[in-house]
Every structure is written in C-alpha cells, then in structure tokens.
Chain A
Amino acid sequence: MATPHITGPQSQPPSPELRPGGSDARPSLADARAEGAHPPHAQRVRRHPVITGRLQAIARGEVVPTETHPALAGEEAVLEIDHFSLWYGSKQALFDICLRIPRGKVTALIGPSGCGKSTLLRSVNRLNDLIHGVRQAGDMRLNGDSIYDRSVDVIELRKRMGMVFQKSNPFPMSIFENVVYPLRIDGVRDRQLLAEVCERSLRGAALWDEVKDRLHENALELSGGQQQRLCIARAIAAEPEVLLMDEPCSALDPLATGKIEDLMRELRGNYSVLIVTHNMQQASRTADYTAFMYLGQVIEYGPTTDIFTKPFVKDTEDYVTGRFG
C-alpha cells in the first residue's frame, strides 16, 4: 500500500491529558513481553500501543486473546458472542470469538479481506446455515436468548434481526411491497398498518421524500443508493433488535455513501447496529465501537476513537494507519 498515512499516533504523539483514563485502560496481559519486542518505536515517548506480535502469533497458528477496552464494560449488550468458532468444511474461519455488542450503538467490524468479518456477521442471523458443510461451536445470545441452541426456530430468530447486504438486493416488486415484505411473510393484511410501517420505515431510511409519490412503482427502477436505502428501510420495517450491515456502501458512489452514513448516525440510539466495513474512514465516522479482526480472530475491540488513535495493540495501529492490509 503506497498511500501515505495521514493520521496516526506516531506522526503526532497525542498528549496524555487528551486521553483521560488512558493510563488505567491498559490490559494487564503480556505487557512486559510486548514492551520488549518493540524496537522501532521504543525510543518515542508514548504509551500506546504496547502489545505487539499478535499477527505473528496468529501466523504461527496460535489463538490470541482479544484486547477488549474497559470502556465496553459499562455498556449493556444486545448481542453477546460467546466463544464462537466456525468451520467451512475442515477449514476454520472463526476462532473462539467473544464480543459484546452494545445496545443502541453502532459497532464496526474492520479487518483485511478474508478475515471473517462477513462470516461473523452472517453467523449472527444464521445465514451460514444455508451453506453446505458449515459447522459452529460456541454460542451467541440475542438479548439473552440463545441463537445456536438446538431448539431455536431459525425463521423466528431471523425475524428479530434486520440485515443489509453489500450489494443492494431489492426484491422484484413495488417499493411498498419491498418495505412491508417482512410483514407480508408474517401474513399481515391490515392495509392501514402496512401503510404506517411503510412510511415509518422509509422515513427512518431517509427515503420517504424521494419515493412517497411512487410507492407502487417497481423498486428496481430506483438508483443504486436509493435501492440500498430501500433495503435499510426493509431491514428496519420489522423493528429488529439488531441491525446487521455487511459493507452497505461498498457498491455506492461517495454521495450515496454519505447519505447512508448520515442515516447510520441517525439510527444510532434507536437501533443497535453491527456493521462490517472495509473503509476505515467510514468506521471512524459512523461507529461508536470498532473491532479489528485478523484471520478469524478479533485482535482488539474498543471505542472507535481509541482504536483509531491509541490502540493497545501495535498491529491494530499498523492496520488503521494503512501500514498493512
């Protein structure tokens, strides 16, 4: 990657007073060892990051612990991922993942391609069940209810979540029918209710003003950005407990991306959002919390500002500043 790093802890070392609680937000784990293996930055006056060698450990085949920032301890979790592992056939894609996704916040999953972000996201609503040869270990809990228990009805489970995909996938029907699709499949016939839900969801997705006069036209005639917002409207139509977004802007132009990002900021508070993104700027702009994943493991998880400015782990810093990945 030839892009020069614009911002980064090492280019302008932040003063300690700008980072309240930074000194005690240190994990106790492996400090000394990490400190020792840190020659290039050793002479600089700085406290973060101190943990190194995680990538090398993963390359050696070790399972490394997740560095979770203590700021997360104060958050109420809507989704708990509990020692979750996943295999595609004999190939393990996720390694013992433990994350607590906070309620009413936007949480971003970042990491290089193939690190398992999307797999983890799709495991939340069990879309990976559709793929032949996938098996899992561990569990996830949505508001305390197990997701991977044997007795769980997958269809009922998915109704409690909404999902937005990388490529917008409006259904071949009218705009109105697209939005109320989750209700239609539940057999809702009440026209009044459907119309209310449609308007509320489209307003929620900031699309109402653009389409209110042509609700019964084909959804496939909308522009790409509008289609993606329509998919968001559809995802929030059934009041999901958690909204999953899989790189929702990767196929959109900057203008449409901007609209979707504004939308995500508005959704914060009302919805708990878990978003996968390739775009670090996007994560820093929209997410409250960010988890950095590498080769099926979560390296570090914490408040977005901390992850981008003063991560605990050297490898996270390298990644967010564009030194690899």
Chain B
Amino acid sequence: MTGGVAQRREAGTRPRSRRGRGLHAPPWAHGEPLIWIAGGALLLALAMILGLVALVVVQGVGTFWPRPIVELTSLDGTAYLGEVVDEETYRPDASVLEELEPEFVPKVRAYLEANAGITRRRLLRTENFEFTGSHFEWVPEFLVQRERQPEWAVVVERYNESRLYGYPRRLLVRGKVTARQPVDIWRQVQQHLPAVHARRSEARRLERHELGRLSRELEAQRLAVRQAELTHAADSSFVRQQQARWLATQQAVQAATAELRRQIDALDRRNAELVLELATTSGEPARVPLGEVVRAYAPNRLSWGQKVGLYLGRWYEFLTDDPRQVNSEGGVFPAIFGTLVMTVVMSAAVAPFGVAAALYLREYARAGWLVSCVRIAINNLAGVPSIVFGVFGLGFFCYFVGGQVDQWFFEARLPSPTFGTGGVLWASLTLALLTLPVVIVAAEEALAAVPNSMREGSYACGASKWQTLVRIVLPRAMPGIMTGMILAMSRGAGEVAPLMLVGAVKLAQDLPVDGVFPYLHLERSFMHLGFHIYDLGFQSQNSQAAKPLVFTTTLLLMTLILCLNLTAIWVRARLRRRFQAGHF
C-alpha cells in the first residue's frame, strides 16, 4: 500500500491516502450528526425533568405567600371578598345573558361585543363556607361593577373550620363589647392571642398526654384481666384478683379524668369568653371565639417584612405541625416523619437481604442455567406492578405473619389486631421486597467490579473464602452497593400504591416513634407524603384549596428524597475515598 501511495505522489496526484473524511464520505462517516442527535436527546430529557421540577417548585413555593384580598361588586350589588387564586380568558356562551336580570343584558352584551365575545374571569377564594356553602367563586369580568382592595379586609384561619374572610366589626369580652374600631379590635386581638394560644395548647396537652396516659393505664389493666382469663380458670382467685384491680383502676381513672376534664373545660371556657365578630359580604356577622383562631391577619395592610414573617411562619407550621381541616390546612409533620421512618426501616431490611443474595449469586453459586433462571426471575420481579406487591404484603405480612404474631404475643388484645393489620413494619417490608431486585442487581454489579486480583491476593495470603469476602470484597464493593441503596431508597420513598394497602392512612393519631414504652411502635399505621399528595389531590372535598398544597407537598417529598440521596452519596464518597482511591 505504501508503494502505491508513493507512486501516486510521484505521478503528482493527491498525496493523501484515499481513506479519510473527504467531501464524498457519507454523512454517518463524519459522526457529527450522531453527536447532534445524542445531544438533542439529552437536552429533551433534561428539559422534561427540569420542567417538571420547575413546575413543582414554582407552584409549591408560592402557596404560603399572603396574597392581597380584593372585593368585587357585581352589577346586581353582590359583593365577593377573597384572594384571587386563578385567572383565565374564556368565551361565555349565550346562556350567560339569559340568566341575567333583564336590566343588565344590554350592558353585558355591549361589553362582550366590544371584546369580540371573549372575556376574563377570576377565581376568588371567598370561603365563609358556613354562610355561602362554597369555598371558591368564579367572577366574570363583565359582571364586575366595582373593584377595590379594602384596607381592613381580614383573613381568619380557624382550627376546626375553614377560613373566614371579612371586616372586623366588634370584639366581645364576656359578652361586653370592648372595641368597635378595626384598629382597636386588631390591637386587642393581637394582645389576647398569645395567651389564648397558650391556654389552648395546655388544654390539648392535657387531653392528649394526661388523658391518654389514663386510658393506657386502664387498657393495660383490662388486658391483664383478659390475659388472666386466657391462662387461668375463669373463677380462679388470680382472675378475681385482676378483676378487682381493674375495678379499682377504673374508679381511680374516672376520678382523675373528671378532674382533668374540669381543668380542660376551664381553659376552654376562658378562651370562649373572647369573641371576634366579623362583618361578611353575605350580610351575616360571623362570630369566632379567639380560641378557634390559628392566625388572623389583614393582608392588604401587611408590610413586605410582615409578609415574609407570615410566609416563614406558615412554612414552619407546615413542616412541624399536625394537619387540620381534613389535611387541607396545617402541617404535614406526621407524614414527613412517617416517610422517614418507613424509608429507614425499609433500607435496613433490604440491605442485608439484597447483599446476601447478591453475594451468593456472584461468589458462591456456580454459573449455570439455574443461576441464570434466578437472575432472570429477579429482573422480572422489578417489573411486577407495585400494587401487586401491596396485595402480597397485605395478604402475607399483615394477615398471615401479623395474624400469627397477634396469636402468639398479643392474644389478650384480640379481636382488635395489633400486628395483624397495616403498619409501618409491614409497609417497610413490602417496599423492601419491591426494591430488592434493584439492590441485588446493583450489589451483583458491584461485586463483579471488584478486581479478581484482590481476591487472589487475599487467597494467596491464606485467607478463606469467607474472610476474603468480608475483609476485602465487601468493603471494596461497598460504594457500588450504596449506589443500589440510593436507587432503592428513591424508589421506595416515592412509592404510593402498595402503601395504601399495607398501612399508610389519611390521618394517623400517633407517630410510629414517641415517648411511650417501647418507644418504637412499628405496628402503628402511619402517614406518608406520597399518600398525602394522593389524598390531597384526589380525595379532598375542597380540592381547589388543596391544589397548591399538592405542589408544596410534592416539593417537600422531592426535597426529602434529595436529602436522603445526598446523605447516601456523601457516605458513598467517603467509602470510595477509603476503598477505591489510588494512583494506578
């Protein structure tokens, strides 16, 4: 070939060889189109992911910002007071005109004709559900006669009912009016509120902790009687002794309960003495005991700094408090906590099983058709719909295993189940099963990536197989196994469908971890952020109010998973520095 080139050079032809990327080469020989295609695909994927994240962030971050209140007066004099939450242009059909009072028809028709039949409408969060029977109101532009942002329009968020929008009218203390001017009323409300909140939280603490303690005592005694009946003859002295003790406890608890009730009532009564009266746009005055007020503010009067304070305060409440108002107000702390506990228990369950299975498959099992079948089965397991895992978890863990556990250890509590129903433990184990394939596959890859020279070096030192695995192979594979754990955690923490069957609930009374012995209550049902999102978005009566919270909760779930992942990535980086660094 060199000879040929030399000849051509002598003959004065092109000295370059015929190979190369000349103009006549086909486009795929250049490679550039492929780069563009690959880059474009990546860009598309990035755009979709970033778009989704941006949507969630933009929608979720704004939820708690106090928006101004507007008052819209329609042509017939009806006033709407509330926050504008949505806005759209639409083309009203002819029926709009038919529903109007005849006197307004020409005006509206003229308006519509001037705008080519298109108009704007705004969605107002008007609330005052007990008077109006609705939470939101669409107000078309052509009906608006007057629009203003009244200075003294206030929002009152309540514990047990939905919000109120109105104007402060009077403040009553023990039935006597102490203020009539909005300024005075507001000053006095702000003065009273801290003390009112303190009394309320004390009353709730008494209810929750003290009364709870009493009822636990009583329940323990009842269980002791039941246990005695199960183990001894019905008329034995031991059973009678236990029954007598139960009776004594009952009396003591009744007395203590009455005393506690008295205290709680006293606190509640003092809170009920302070009543805020609001004028509403529908005419009726709304009376709110201050004890019911979570927070009250006049958005149109707030300075920017006050708005920021309110915003942060609401975030704080969201992150640390229990939910109120069928989850559409208040916080999601139980859901955050439940998600965390479940993810941690799931990781603790899936890691040893997954790694052990991978170890056997990779290090012990002799390659053959059986191992191939097992591997295929594992990969197929990853494709099973998650709801199927939920059904399996319900049938196997909750009913079968949990039922047996109840039979053996909690017989006295039957027929009410302890472990024989959905709970954190069973949910975690179900998800562990769900994420097992991910961990096994990743761990197997990690084990395969450990250079054979490491193993041989260890064997040559006289190490047994087990010593080699534990001291050399596993530490070296740990970063790769951590990668699998990160994937599994992300998958598990974001999974909802199986949880609905095995223990996630709309509202959990108690956290899975608390100060009551034995502190970790894995049998309890729990709240979960993913399930909470589903519940807010699709099960809420007031779905329009819950919509922004769906985004906020999604944002929170994503942040939580991000934090879990970052922790795992940090651990992995540390491991990698320790086990895989090197110059060669």
Contacts and interface: CB of A to CB of B under 8 A. Distances in A.
Interface of A: 125, 127, 130, 132, 155-156, 158-159, 161-163, 165, 167-169, 171-173, 181-182, 184-186, 218, 220-224, 227, 231, 234-235, 238, 244, 251
A227 B366 CA distance: 33
A184 B458 CA distance: 11
Chain A residues touching B, majority SS: mixed
Nearest to A234: B461
A169 B456 CA distance: 9
A268 B552 CA distance: 74
B453 A169 contact: yes
B461 A223 contact: no
B581 interface: yes
A234 B457 CA distance: 10
B462 A182 contact: yes
B414 to A, nearest CB: 51
Interface stretch (B116-124, B323-331, B470-478): B470-478
A281 B402 CA distance: 73
B457 A155 contact: no
Contact of A224 (B455, B458, B471, B583): B583
Nearest to B575: A172
Contact of A172 (B459, B464, B472): B472
Contacts of A127: 456, 459-460
Given A168-B584, A169-B453, A159 B458 contact: no
A236 B286 CA distance: 91
B467 interface: yes
Interface in B146-196: none
Interface in B558-584: 577-584
A165 B583 contact: no
A221 B583 contact: yes
A221 B583 CA distance: 7
Contacts of A173: 475
B460 A163 contact: yes
Contacts of B464: 155, 185
Contacts of A159: 461-462
B145 to A, nearest CB: 78
A167, A172, A218, most chain B CB atoms within 10 A: A172
Nearest to A224: B584
Chain B residues touching A, majority SS: helix
Contact of A218 (B451, B453, B462, B578): B578
Interface of B: 366-367, 451, 453-464, 467, 471-472, 475-476, 577-584
Contacts of B583: 221-224
A218 B456 CA distance: 20
Contact of B461 (A156, A168, A238): A238
Contact of A182 (B453, B461, B579): B461
Contact of B581 (A155, A162, A220, A224): A220
A171 B472 contact: yes
B457 A238 contact: no
A185 B456 contact: no
24 contacts: A127-B460, A130-B459, A155-B463, A156-B462, A158-B460, A158-B462, A159-B462, A163-B456, A165-B456, A165-B460, A167-B453, A169-B454, A171-B457, A171-B458, A171-B471, A182-B461, A182-B462, A185-B461, A220-B581, A224-B583, A224-B584, A227-B582, A234-B461, A251-B584
A185 B458 CA distance: 10
- The list of the 5 closest CB pairs from A to B, nearest first, reads A159-B462, A172-B579, A220-B582, A163-B460, A169-B453
A221 B581 contact: yes
A223 B455 CA distance: 21
Nearest to B460: A163
A130 B453 CA distance: 12
Contacts of B577: 218
Nearest to A184: B471
A155, A161, A235, most chain B CB atoms within 10 A: A155
Contacts of B453: 165, 167, 169
Nearest to A221: B581
A159 B460 CA distance: 8
A155 B458 contact: no
B366, B451, B455, B460, most chain A CB atoms within 10 A: B460
B581 A158 contact: no
A221 B582 contact: yes
A181 B454 CA distance: 13
Contacts of B457: 163, 165, 169, 171, 231, 234
Contacts of B582: 220-221, 227
A98 B38 CA distance: 60
B460 A172 contact: no
Contacts of B451: 169
Contacts of A156: 462
Nearest to A251: B584
B104 to A, nearest CB: 83
Contacts of B456: 127, 130, 163, 165, 169
Contact of A185 (B366, B467, B475, B578): B467
Given A168-B584, A185-B471, A238-B461, 15 more contacts: A127-B459, A132-B366, A155-B463, A156-B462, A165-B457, A165-B460, A172-B476, A172-B578, A172-B580, A181-B471, A186-B462, A218-B578, A220-B582, A231-B457, A238-B462
A176 to B, nearest CB: 14
Contacts of A184: 471
Contacts of A125: 460
B462 A155 contact: yes
Contacts of A222: 583
Contacts of A251: 584
Given A169-B453, A172-B578, A185 B472 contact: no
Contacts of B579: 172, 220
A161, A173, A223, A235, most chain B CB atoms within 10 A: A173
B370 to A, nearest CB: 15
Given A167-B453, A169-B453, A169-B456, A185 B581 contact: no
A163 B366 CA distance: 26
A127 B453 CA distance: 11
Contacts of A161: 460
A225 to B, nearest CB: 10
Nearest to B452: A130
B454, B455, B475, B584, most chain A CB atoms within 10 A: B584
Nearest to A252: B584
A241 B24 CA distance: 68
Contacts of A172: 454, 472, 475-476, 578-580
B461 A220 contact: no
A231 B460 CA distance: 11
B265 to A, nearest CB: 67
Contacts of B459: 127, 130, 158
A263 to B, nearest CB: 18
Nearest to A157: B462
A155 to B, nearest CB: 5
A24 B568 CA distance: 73
A69 B201 CA distance: 99
A137 B180 CA distance: 109
B476 to A, nearest CB: 5
A222 B461 CA distance: 21
Contacts of B476: 172
B463 A185 contact: yes
A35 to B, nearest CB: 44
B461 to A, nearest CB: 4
A318 to B, nearest CB: 31
Contacts of A231: 457
